[in-house]
Chain A
């Protein structure tokens, strides 16, 4: 992954998908178009491109209209539109919100049997969510034909992959989103009498973001990256030539992916690998990309150690991790559920945890069960180290319990079987956080995150 070129993503918008590609009929249906598009676009002249984009848009409009006519009853007041993500959706001036209003009926998931044959055939999956968790958002599958007419095909595909959890990890989603946005920028043409810096965000970018948020609540790094991207667009002078602006945006995204994702992964795994003791036992929960990289890196550095994996029985990512590690010649202890936690902690020398996000108060958002592991580990006086790219840091929001920011597993959203995807780990249970940025100490306490973020707001990047 570290050496992979992020510059020219030819086919699918997500070269990083390590997840299983199964079961996503809608996305599969759409992907060929996207691939063809991408390949074509790179060869066409600007004029041809323009024509093509126009034709595409017309086709999409027709499609959207069709859908609009089909379920007229579905026009129920759209709560989704106003809700949106965090990324400042409402900047889209007058015409933006008009457009938005018009397209509302089309974006509602149809209740008739139009849905592809996915697992849930219920009318509204949200209706089965128990009352006490009804505020928690949940990913949902939106048929591509019902998406907003301005949604770019590449984004459509990413949205489907996110809704089906083919793209699961927050960073994988971020990368796919950014690559899709590159396509959006490439195919963007500023209408006459407008300027890119004024027109692009409200009329082109925001619908994409809205669609992605509807497919699955935005991950924290996505929110951060989009904020950076928008501020980048706003920096352009109103007279900046379009080509120049687009070129600079594309370059910005490339640098962003390189620095904040690819390099970050290498640096974090290198730093974290140094923490693994010779002849120690590293305990981890489930499977996280950074933890896996770190362990393999430490092994490659010639260290001799064992790994204790506590798995989530509902996810079983740990089993896959165990196989990978075994192939690398590492001794693996495996507990299929948290019941074995205390027994495993007795021999563990430190705990490595992967995270989805870190809040401004230092608490971690991580896969459900992480909090239990961190708490038991700190009770057993075992070091708990969280691995996290700085792009996952949220510097505005705080969270003290797991019901503030969370997601419901769409496969398990009824009273018979209910599951929250994440939980909240208080910073007092964390010995340290390893990020790619603190290259001097490599071991930033969770409380120092705000300082880190201030540093991170260096004008060189944002």
Chain B
């Protein structure tokens, strides 16, 4: 057990590097565990999913478009279920599936395949991930990842239906086309990855339109997107940034120190607010910048916990709330009731186990993600 553990370091960077050397199933499995442990967060998720789907397309065996779609959909389903609150996973999977269908229909049109339409019509355009049964995943008996103790805690997935069984008959020439399709799809996924990685820069391009000289900007738990936005604005404008975060910092430590340094270097003042409630500072603030985890069809935003406090306070003083979100974070779905619920996280950090009395006394609830209703948002800045 021990030797294998030492080689296994669960970080996303390691995983992405080892993608080519590892068997596909092992990579998927390890990404599932990273997601389940919430070790992949924020903007990394979209990138990781795109990488993984690229591997699925490139490595797995498939003879038809249907098989490929089933494989992608199945992998996507597993990944999405491992982090149900991350809508971005579904988005990227949908993008890839849409891409495959586009490419396939182009090919078939070229081949004058008469029956191609039936295939497309059977696949919902906005698949709701959990409801789609896929074929049973290839589950080798001994996978490298399955040694993790995390497996003991997992409910084994019960994937009932053996397959969609909707495969259309292929003409003789089709298998040759599959090869071309594969490389086209791979190109397409790489484009998506490019888009994801460039989104932050493109969003930051709008920074100097939104932020004016002399502004006081409140950044609540700045995500990398927000950080880049502020830094870009700092290159052109003189303003002041209030940085706020929900959790306690000790008097010595500076939250977001790297960002502060960068901004200060550009001549922008930063003030870290050691406060949970933000109403007190709102009269001073000109605008609030929030990074989205996902944006729903109704405009509601999935955010870090506490953002709705900031947004509500801004609304009270009629200050604009700016949400930054790449287009790949836009979900076609409206938020379900599950979404407007909250994601609860580790509560052990808040009460010391040495404090036995408190451990007995408290039912601690630590909310890590929440839903911000659309009426609190004034501006969405995207990369389009």
Chain B residues bordering chain A, tally (CB within 8 A)? 49
Q: Across the interface, do B251 and A417 meet the contact criterion of CB distance under 8 Å?
A: yes
Output the least CB separation between B171 and chain A (Å).
Answer: 57
Using CB atoms, name the residue of chain A closest to B308. A342
Question: Once the chains bind, are A336 and B273 in contact (CB under 8 Å)?
Answer: no
Do B279 and A402 touch across chains, with their CB atoms under 8 A apart? yes
A-B interface contact total, Cβ < 8 Å: 163
Q: Smallest CB-CB separation from A422: which chain B residue?
A: B280
Cβ-based interface call for A370 (8 A): yes
Residues of chain A lying within 8 A (CB to CB) of residue B240 = 130, 132
Of the candidates B273, B280, B281, B283, the one having the most CB atoms from chain A within 10 angstroms of its own CB is B280
Contacts of B316 in A (CB 8 A): 375, 426
Q: Is A57 an interface residue (CB 8 A)?
A: no
Contact of A415 among B272, B282, B358, B370 (CB under 8 A): B272
Tell whether B270 is near chain A: CB-to-CB under 8 Å.
yes
- Cα distance A332–B361 in the bound complex, in angstroms: 7
- Asked if B246 and A313 make an inter-chain contact with CB atoms under 8 angstroms apart, the answer reads yes
> Which residues from chain B contact A375 at a C-beta distance below 8 Å?
279, 312-313, 316
With beta carbons under 8 angstroms apart, the residue of B279, B305, B363, B367 that contacts A334 is B363
Q: Residue A369 at the B interface, CB < 8 A?
A: yes
| The 5 A-B residue pairs with the shortest CB-CB distance in the complex, in nearest-first order | A369-B277, A326-B361, A339-B305, A371-B279, A336-B350
Q: Quick check: is B152 within 8 A (CB to CB) of the other chain?
A: no
Cβ of A416 under 8 Å from chain B: yes
Given A323-B358, A369-B276, A423-B280, A341 and B271 touching (CB < 8 A)? no
Within the complex, the shortest CB–CB distance from A417 to chain B, in Å, comes to 5
Q: Which residue from chain B places its CB closest to the CB of A344 in the assembled complex? A: B365
CB distance from A248 to the nearest CB of B (A): 42
Question: With A322-B358, A337-B246, A339-B246 known to touch, is A420 a contact of B312 (CB < 8 Å)?
Answer: no
Is B277's CB under 8 angstroms from A343's CB? Answer: no
Provide a sorted-by-A list of 8 A–B residue pairs whose CB atoms are within 8 angstroms.
A132-B284, A322-B361, A337-B276, A337-B305, A344-B365, A369-B279, A372-B313, A402-B281
Interface string of A304-348 (1 = CB under 8 A from B): 000000001110100100110111000111111111111110000
> Which of A30-38, A252-260, A406-414 contacts its partner?
A406-414
Contact (Cβ within 8 A) B269 A130: yes
Q: Flag if A403 contacts B284 (CB, 8 Å).
A: yes
Task: Decide if A419 is an interface residue (CB 8 Å cutoff).
Answer: yes
- Which residues in B have their C-beta under 8 angstroms from that of A123? none
In the complex, A352 Cα to B342 Cα: how many Å? 24
CA A403 – CA B317 in complex, angstroms? 13
User: Per a CB cutoff under 8 Å, which of B216, B260, B272, B279 touches A132?
Assistant: B216
Closest chain B residue, CB of each to CB of A416: B254
Contact partner of A342 (CB less than 8 A), chosen from B283, B357, B370, is B370
Q: Is A236 an interface residue (CB 8 A)?
A: no
Q: Which B residues touch A418, using CB under 8 A?
A: 271-274
CB distance from A45 to the nearest CB of B (A): 51
Q: Is the CB of B362 within 8 A of A334?
A: yes
CB distance from A157 to the nearest CB of B (A): 26
Do A335 and B313 form a contact, CB below 8 Å, given A375-B279, A418-B273? no
Interface centre among A342, A344, A422 (most CB of B within 10 A): A342
Is B306 part of the contact surface with A, judged by Cβ < 8 Å? yes
Whether the Cβ atoms of A319 and B351 lie closer than 8 Å is yes
Asked if B248 is at the interface of the complex by the 8 Å CB criterion, the answer is yes
Any chain B CB within 8 A of the CB of A251? no
Chain B CB within 8 A of A401 CB = yes
A residues with CB within 8 A of B: 119, 130, 132-133, 312-314, 316, 319, 322-323, 325-327, 331-344, 368-373, 375-376, 379, 401-403, 406, 409, 411-412, 415-420, 422-426
Contact partner, A372, options B278, B305, B317, B362, Cβ 8 Å = B278
Q: How far is the CB of B282 from chain A (nearest CB, A)?
A: 8
Which residue of chain B is the closest to A119 with respect to CB atoms? B251
Q: Is B178 an interface residue (CB 8 A)?
A: no
Q: Known contacts A338-B246, A411-B251; is A417 also within 8 Å of B350 by CB? A: no
**Is B223 close to A, CB under 8 A?**
no
Interface flag for B360 (CB, 8 Å): yes
Cβ of B161 within 8 Å of any chain A Cβ, yes or no, is no
Residue from A332, A379, A409 in contact with B312 in the complex, judged by beta carbons closer than 8 Å: A379
Interface residue from A130, A314, A332, A372 paired with B279 (Cβ < 8 Å):
A372
Partner of B274, one of A343, A406, A412: A412
Is the pair B275, A402 in contact by a Cβ cutoff of 8 Å? Answer: no
**Chain B nearest CB, measured from A136 CB (Å):** 10
Interface centre among B271, B275, B366, B367 (most CB of A within 10 A): B275
Question: Which residue of B248, B260, B313, B366 contacts A339 across the interface (Cβ within 8 Å)?
Answer: B366
A130 touches B274 (CB 8 A): no
- The residue in B254, B277, B347 that gathers the most chain A C-beta atoms within 10 A of its C-beta is B277
Q: List, in ascending order, chain A residues with CB within 8 A of B277's CB.
A: 312, 338, 368-373, 423
B309 CB-CB contact with A under 8 Å: yes
B274-298 contact mask (Cβ, 8 Å, vs A): 1 or 0:
1111111111100000000000000
Q: Name the distance in Å between B292's Cβ and chain A's nearest Cβ.
A: 16
Which of B271, B272, B362, B367 is close to A332, meaning CB atoms less than 8 Å apart? B362
Known: A322-B358, A423-B279. A340 touches B312 (CB 8 A): no
Contact residues in B for A338 (Cβ distance below 8 Å): 246, 276-277, 306, 309
